[in-house]
């Protein structure tokens, strides 16, 4: 017990050393819409939170995400003024991450690792720089909570393996509750029942093995089914996303066409787990290149990684497997099963690749390292066990210092969005989203020409980037350069005809050029596609007024005023004056 407490304290101190600087960070990326501007989080009504999708409070996001526990955890940190305390929120992220690392070390011990192996797994997880993308942004908490409760579920199931009588049911249903909470944080935790099966299958008794397994794993399956039922009732979906092509170009390919790229993603993941020298906040567009052949290098490496992991899992399922094979197989399963989901292998997700997606699978990587440390300690050609123990702890210390140094150098970028995405345009220069986001920041800073260049770079990299074409059009319109504005608004609509703001911008630009009939067509089409676009109604009224169609203009103004545009009353009065009323 004393060794466990000391190890837990060491791991928590390591996590604090790596991420203490985040306590002074504010909101970044999705933190703004999901947390800072979200009235649902501010109100903190649990019925509302658990009865809506993740983006319901602000719109604009994927309505098929259901993560009520994540939003609940933030609602509890909103102060009396309705503001989320960023310091305490970042502190909670740090603490949850540290607890994940501690539970991973304890889990490794449950599987049979020694203190050195468990310490290596926990310390590397606490300090691995790939986790900055999950810990530093507040919305990364969904990753942290999913793993925290996923590990708690697995620990409960392993305790149930040894229990007898009512203790089995208590522990199994405790694990089920933990799994339900993990799934309410993020969908990736759906792999936990599969991991539990890998863990318990080779240890099942000879008599009534299926009943023994059902008593321990059945509650997990029931919890997963309950979550899927609640999810379907709330959002009408049990999974799958339809990402924009700029974020995940696999959405524009058939499964067989995209298979080489899907396989190659495993090599990209393992590369960053082993050697996280160059990290980025964005991998959109062609940063991860499309692979055209199964026999190219990266698809072959990815296939080899997946086959080796699957082979290790299968070997661990044999009753005759020794402790080392079981631990290797389970560590491989902790990487393989979540990667089947996070790596776009079984279904499409919102992005083709992101470092935060490695948070759950990296637990398997760290467990694997712990197994390697234990094997090394037993087999080092040194004269005594004390010498071998000192050698492996020296290795663990060296790895920890290297990871800590890299993590501390990565954390500051996540304090400032401009620094984060400026760095992303260097580390992943082919990312259209990085150039687009940096351009938006510069636009807010009134650096219009630099912003235009950034948007142009985004569409050069990804010509289907409708939002970037739209932003270029807006900049030209503000400069009163109507011809290029019209051209860019049209390019945005060629890519995405439902882009109502681009169609409104086109109508406004045509109006300012005096092309009233074309302007009217675009504005009418805007309202047809999106009746809530009140700005289009106001602009249509102005077009009709300039065209001398005063009665039609007055009718449009009346409708807009009824929808809240009180500022249009002078325009209505002008239309009525011209009608002689």
Inform me whether the pLDDT recorded for 505 exceeds 70. yes
pLDDT of amino acid 560:
87
Inform me whether the pLDDT recorded for 170 exceeds 80. yes
pLDDT of amino acid 383:
86
Please name the residue ranges forming H helices in 383-431: 385-410, 417-427
pLDDT of amino acid 81:
77
Structure confidence at residue 399 as a pLDDT band (50, 70, 90): very high
Inform me whether the pLDDT recorded for 569 exceeds 70. yes
- Which range is least confidently modeled, 74-88, 273-287, 331-345? 74-88
Residue whose entry in the numeric block shows the structure tokens 């503001």? 83
Cβ-count burial of 449 within 10 angstroms (0-12 exposed, 13-18 middle, 19+ buried)?
A: exposed
Q: What mean pLDDT do residues 220-241 have? A: 90
Q: Model confidence over 175-205: pLDDT tens digits?
A: 999 999 999 999 999 999 999 999 999 999 9
Percentage of residues of the chain with pLDDT beyond 90 = 81
- Which range is least confidently modeled, 175-179, 248-252, 402-406? 248-252
Taking the C-alpha atoms of residue 134 and residue 143, their distance in angstroms, rounded to an integer, is 7
Q: How many helices (H) and strands (E) does the chain have?
A: 27, 0
- Which range is least confidently modeled, 226-240, 496-510, 511-525? 226-240
265 in Cβ contact with 302 (< 8 Å)? yes
pLDDT of amino acid 64:
82
Taking the C-alpha atoms of residue 399 and residue 192, their distance in angstroms, rounded to an integer, is 29
Taking the C-alpha atoms of residue 128 and residue 135, their distance in angstroms, rounded to an integer, is 11
pLDDT of amino acid 208:
85
pLDDT of amino acid 148:
98
155 in Cβ contact with 107 (< 8 Å)? yes
**Residue 109 CA to its chain's centroid (Å):** 30
Termini Cα distance of the chain? 90
Specify the 3-state DSSP secondary structure of 84: strand
pLDDT of amino acid 134:
97
pLDDT of amino acid 61:
67
Inform me whether the pLDDT recorded for 525 exceeds 70. yes
pLDDT of amino acid 283:
95
Average pLDDT, the chain: 93
Inform me whether the pLDDT recorded for 337 exceeds 80. yes
Taking the C-alpha atoms of residue 316 and residue 61, their distance in angstroms, rounded to an integer, is 41
- Domains of the chain are 2-412 (no CATH), 465-578 (1.25.40.10)
Inform me whether the pLDDT recorded for 326 exceeds 80. yes
Taking the C-alpha atoms of residue 22 and residue 93, their distance in angstroms, rounded to an integer, is 9
Percentage of residues of the chain with pLDDT beyond 70 = 99
Structure confidence at residue 141 as a pLDDT band (50, 70, 90): very high
Q: What mean pLDDT do residues 377-404 have? A: 94
């Amino acid at each position: 017990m004393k060794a466990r407490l000391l190890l837990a304290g060491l791991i928590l101190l390591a996590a604090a050393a790596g991420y203490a600087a985040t306590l002074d960070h504010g909101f970044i990326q999705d933190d703004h819409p999901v947390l800072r501007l979200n009235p649902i989080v501010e109100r903190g009504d649990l019925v509302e939170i658990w009865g809506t999708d993740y983006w319901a409070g602000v719109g604009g996001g994927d309505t098929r995400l259901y993560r009520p526990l994540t939003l609940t955890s933030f609602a509890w940190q909103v102060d009396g003024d309705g503001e989320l305390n960023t310091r305490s929120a970042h502190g909670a992220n740090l603490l949850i991450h540290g607890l994940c690392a501690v539970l991973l070390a304890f889990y490794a011990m449950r599987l049979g690792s020694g203190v050195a192996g468990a310490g290596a797994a926990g310390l590397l997880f606490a300090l691995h720089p790939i986790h900055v993308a999950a810990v530093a942004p507040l919305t990364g908490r969904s990753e942290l909570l999913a793993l925290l409760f996923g590990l708690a579920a697995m620990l409960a199931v392993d305790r149930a393996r040894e229990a007898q009588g009512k203790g089995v049911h208590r522990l199994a249903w405790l694990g089920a509750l933990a799994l339900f909470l993990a799934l309410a944080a993020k969908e990736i935790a759906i792999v936990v029942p599969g991991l539990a099966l890998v863990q318990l299958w080779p240890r099942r008794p000879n008599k009534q093995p299926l009943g023994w397994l059902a008593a321990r794993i059945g509650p997990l399956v029931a919890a997963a089914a309950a979550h899927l039922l609640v999810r379907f009732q709330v959002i009408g979906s049990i999974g799958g996303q339809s990402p924009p092509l700029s974020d995940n170009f696999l959405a524009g390919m058939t499964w067989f066409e995209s298979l080489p790229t899907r396989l190659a993603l495993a090599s990209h993941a393992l590369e960053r787990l082993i050697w996280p020298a160059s990290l980025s906040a964005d991998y959109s567009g062609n940063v991860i290149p499309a692979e055209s052949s199964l026999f190219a290098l990266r698809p072959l490496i990815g296939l080899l990684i997946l086959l080796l992991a699957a082979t290790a899992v299968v070997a661990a399922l044999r009753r005759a497997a020794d402790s080392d094979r079981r631990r290797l197989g389970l560590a491989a399963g902790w990487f393989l099963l979540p990667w089947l989901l996070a790596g776009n292998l079984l279904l499409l997700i919102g992005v083709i690749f992101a470092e935060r997606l490695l948070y759950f699978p990296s637990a398997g990587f760290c467990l694997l390292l712990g197994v390697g440390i234990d094997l090394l300690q037993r087999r080092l050609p040194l004269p005594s066990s004390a010498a071998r123990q000192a050698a492996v702890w020296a290795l663990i210390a060296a790895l920890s210092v290297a990871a800590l140094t890299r993590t501390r150098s990565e954390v500051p970028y996540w304090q400032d969005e401009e620094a984060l995405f400026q760095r992303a345009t260097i580390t992943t220069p082919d990312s259209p989203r990085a150039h687009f986001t940096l351009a938006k920041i510069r636009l807010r800073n009134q650096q219009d020409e630099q912003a235009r260049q950034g948007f142009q770079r985004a569409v050069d990299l990804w010509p289907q980037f409708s939002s970037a074409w739209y932003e270029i059009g807006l900049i030209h319109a503000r400069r009163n350069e109507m011809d290029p504005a019209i051209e860019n608004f049209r390019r945005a609509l060629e890519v995405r005809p439902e882009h109502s703001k681009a169609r409104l911008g086109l109508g406004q630009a045509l109006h300012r050029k005096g092309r009233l009939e074309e302007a009217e067509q675009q504005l009418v089409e805007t309202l047809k596609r999106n009746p809530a676009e009140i700005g289009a109604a106001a602009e249509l009224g102005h077009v009709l007024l300039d065209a001398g169609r005063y009665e039609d203009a007055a009718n449009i103004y009346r409708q807009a005023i009824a929808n809240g545009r009180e500022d249009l009353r002078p325009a209505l009065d002008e239309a009525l004056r011209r009608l002689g009323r």
